[in-house]
Structure 1
């Protein structure tokens, strides 16, 4: 028989997974739903399926780390498990209240660190490795985004187009005796290839989210004293993801997620590939890390690289008062071109709202300026950066796991 504390722990785990599924479905499938490639219900089903694959495979490595490696599995008593899950859920609340993509993974690890410090069982060597990964992963995301934004993105932006369909790309034809799958008659071969790319990347993001987030929901409940086995924990986490995906995700799919709403769809796909790859690699290594942090840093890097095309590498390395650019970035660095009349791909938010930039002929498209030359997209410096927003985001990344450690440590000293 399960104790009341074990039941409480399972309910809290479902709450955590429910919120993760609700938010992550919107981020992963926002472009696909906004482009009307799939319906919201289909998006929720695909997210649940690929999230399950990620959680069942590489996600086990992260569960193992968080359930038995940071502190011994024996430390996860029913009281300790509920306490860790409480602080994990609290991070979701803080994130929603302040509108900042705070890391559930980092906060969950912070609560486990508080448990380890209170009981004197913290694996300090492993924590050093995890902290190092938390520093390196955002830098890799920023660096990758900066290189692509500076050297590749302008050319992709001219050549890659995405279509918004009036009806879903794939439909069921029920006119015959048996229903059969048909393709939207308005879709060209290019549309189908582009749509397939959007869907594949969305499923990849779902895989990464499942791999990294299953441990956040159930790791404290899996172990020697936990009420669940690893298999049961994965199934519970995915069930909670799906519950959130089929319910509250419908709203996040309408707003398409704060992190990517104003990104051009091309930029959102680049960010998804880089962020998902970083988290998948770390999950294979068993290191819990934040998908939100990695993707946000990639967004900043992509915009920085886009804005930095106005100067050469030597000018960046040896700035002078006359040549030093204001390389301040946000998503404005990626969409500023539309304010100057330069065609660009629609943003994810445009697609969700049924809007798109005005079409222009090839003759109206200006040449891409060489690096070091001013171009229309680089003229509006002031729109590229919000120092207050960046400071708030970075502060929350540091503050939420710190508060988790500071809050959980005295709690576990008292109750354990």
Structure 2
């Protein structure tokens, strides 16, 4: 019976890792593939390599926390391990059905918490630390995004442009006796520098994804001794890589709902901020959600960009009752070039579908940057800064998904197992 449960546990763990790889590869390397910097196969290779690096280094700290810190390792019987992995896989299903970036990490922790409550073995002090990090990390992402959007984004937008090359940046030259690598002859120096930045951040995202997500797939199996930490990392990364080479080809084409409508500069900013927050938390062994931190950074970045239409004193002045407030993050992020009649930078989705501007369509000179308080509020918020209905649904599912995981896991282990 135990051997059968072990096989089931390994299968479910691989399934969880497979789905993580399928979704994370697209989010990390979507801009790089869409701008023709790398091919999908190359993206999968790079993602697998950096996910392994992240899981093998700081990611093992998260595995230790989830396999023996939240509850004692002795609680992870073969049956308990399968139960916890079941609720982790269920979170992926809920996320896909509702199209919301629900947190696999939060739901996996929720399932372990349910086990701890049912067996009266929960480490309450550690859970307080973890939950505190879940609250603080998104707020940090929101604040960093707001500061960048208000004070730095227009300058970055004016100095950086991204184009969709007609052929890959690095090509094989077969004209000589031996094949050799060379840069695309149509790529300018700005294209090369920008492409290097896109690729570096994509690899960094892969590192962060491996660091935070490996534990979600294998922590219960490490806890019950079926695998050691090294074996757990290898299994998780193998499953994640398989997802990256297979189902991720589709997500690389659609790039991922969370960043498709963002200008590529904004996508790179929020990816860097989100990955940095999660890497730091992973170093300290705290499981946290990359999707939640990144989404909050998107909201903050959009708010900060739109807030440039008013000074701090004007923002602090209460608005008259009934006066409409702007609301949607992505609409305000690419308006600067549009206001000046220049070609706005492509969005991630446009790059992925081939609609982004080519090298000849980029403006020769950056448009002037208005001072804070001088920009047109109607132009900045033409799309509305923030959709209350959509945001309410997202936040509700962020809370509901791990809560259901806790409740379901508790009922399972308290009354059925």
Shorter-chain TM-score range: over 0.9
Deviation at 1:338, TM superposition (A): 6.3
Post-superposition CA distance 1:350-386 (Å, at most 9, x none): 11111135946557x6532221223377454553322
**What is aligned with 1:268?**
267
Native 8 Å contact 2:27 2:256 kept in 1:
yes
SS at match of 1:3: helix
Deviation of the 1:319 alpha carbon: 1.9
Counterpart residue number, 2:393 = 392
Contact 1:310 1:378 in 2 (8 A): no
| Equivalent-residue separation in structure 2 for 1:176 and 1:264 (angstroms) | 40
Deviations 1:80-112 (A, max 9, x none): 000000000000000000000000000000000
Match for residue 319 of structure 2?
320
Helix, strand or coil at the partner of 1:384 = coil
Number of the residue aligned with 2:278: 279
Once residues 217 and 361 of structure 1 are traced to their aligned partners in structure 2, the CA distance between those partners, rounded to angstroms, is 47
Q: RMSD across aligned C-alpha pairs, in angstroms?
A: 2.0
Aligned to 2:298: 299
1:53 alignment counterpart: 53
Q: What residue in structure 2 maps to residue 413 of structure 1? A: 414
**What's the TM-score once normalised by structure 1's chain length?**
0.95
Q: Aligned to 1:383, what secondary structure does the other structure show? A: coil
Question: Where does residue 246 of structure 1 map in the other structure?
Answer: 245
For residues 387 and 323 of structure 1, what CA distance do their matches in structure 2 show? 16
User: Does the 8 A contact of 2:144 with 2:300 survive in 1?
Assistant: yes
| Equivalent in the alignment of 2:144 | 144
Q: Is the 8 A contact 1:316 1:324 kept in 2?
A: no
Superposition map of 1:46-125 within 5 A? 46-125=46-125
Distance 1:154 1:324 in 2: 27
Q: Distance in 1 between matches of 2:92 and 2:275?
A: 20
Change (3 A) 1:135 1:276: same
Alpha-carbon distance in 1 for matches of 2:59, 2:311:
42
Asked whether the 8 Å contact 2:87–2:405 carries over to 1, the reply is yes
CA shift for structure 1 position 56: 0.2
Equivalent residue number for residue 373 of structure 1? 374
Partner of 1:191: 191
Contact 1:16 1:88 in 2 (8 A): yes
Match in the other structure for 2:8: 8
In 2, the alpha carbon distance for the partners of 1:368 and 1:410 equals 58
Distance 1:305 1:325 in 2: 18
Specify the SS of the correspondent of 2:164.
Answer: coil
| Structure 1 residues 288-328: Cα deviation after superposition (integer angstroms, max 9, x where no partner) | 00000000000000000001111111222232329987242
Q: Report if the CA contact (8 A) 1:308-1:327 is conserved.
A: no
Count of aligned residue pairs for this structure pair: 414
CA distance in 2, matches of 1:369, 1:283: 40
Q: Does the Cα contact within 8 Å between 2:158 and 2:367 map onto a contact in 1?
A: no
What is aligned with 1:165?
A: 165
Q: 2:55·2:233 contact (CA, 8 Å) conserved in 1?
A: yes
Offset from partner CA, 1:237-278 (integer Å, 9 cap, x none): 000111000000000000011111111110111011100000
1:344 — aligned with what? 344
Q: Which moved more, 1:323-332 or 1:159-168?
A: 323-332
Segment of structure 1 superposing worse, 55-64 or 157-166 = 157-166
d(CA) in 2 for partners of 1:332, 1:222: 45
Checking the alignment, whether the CA contact within 8 Å between 1:222 and 1:228 is kept in structure 2 is yes
Compute the TM-score of the two structures, normalised by the length of structure 2. Answer: 0.95
**Native 8 Å contact 2:154 2:336 kept in 1:** no
In structure 1, runs of 5+ residues without a counterpart are none
CA distance in 1, matches of 2:161, 2:203: 20
Q: Distance in 2 between matches of 1:255 and 1:321?
A: 42
Cα deviation, residue 203, structure 1? 0.2
Q: Distance in 1 between matches of 2:59 and 2:357?
A: 40
* Distance (whole Å) between structure 2 residues aligned to residue 270 and residue 415 of structure 1: 47
Residue aligning to 1:18: 18
Moved more, 317-326 or 182-191: 317-326
SS at match of 1:289: coil
Q: Is the 8 A contact 1:221 1:233 kept in 2?
A: yes
